[in-house]
Homo-oligomer: A and B are copies of this chain.
Amino acid sequence: MPRPIGRRRWAIPEGYIPAWSTGPEPQMTSHETLCLLNASDQDAHVEITAFFEGRDPCGPYRLTLPARRTRHVRLNELDDPEPLPRDTDFATVVESDQPIVVQHTRLDSRQAANALMTTLAFADE
């Protein structure tokens, strides 16, 4: 019933992992998430590359997104090939061998009440 939906190449210019948090873990830990959806019947092999202001890009961070599954990747948990720096501006490009859909969300709990933001990523045609 699920058919593929999406694109193979996405970009998110906004990226920032807040350096501190308020409230119970893990729900209220400040985090930056890439929400990935693979509605196809084929596993998707995904590569995430991070871009910075003052240095060369790092990555790719590789993961497999199984067929008919979603995965909400917390960027503060990536550590191979290297953890992403905190309190530092970055951007990401997501590439997949199957059509997927990518949405970017941040939960920021640095102050007493959490703040949220989200947007679809930009899809290359």
Contact = CB atoms under 8 A, between A and B. Distances in A.
A111 B114 contact: yes
A31 B69 CA distance: 22
Interface string A11-30: 11111101100010001100
A5 interface: yes
A120 interface: yes
Given A51-B68, A51-B69, A93-B2, A110 B27 contact: yes
Q: How many copies does the complex hold?
A: 4
B93 A5 contact: yes
A53 B72 contact: yes
A46 interface: no
A13 B27 contact: no
Contacts of A91: 35, 37, 70, 101
A122 interface: yes
Given A118-B117, A122-B123, A6 B2 contact: no
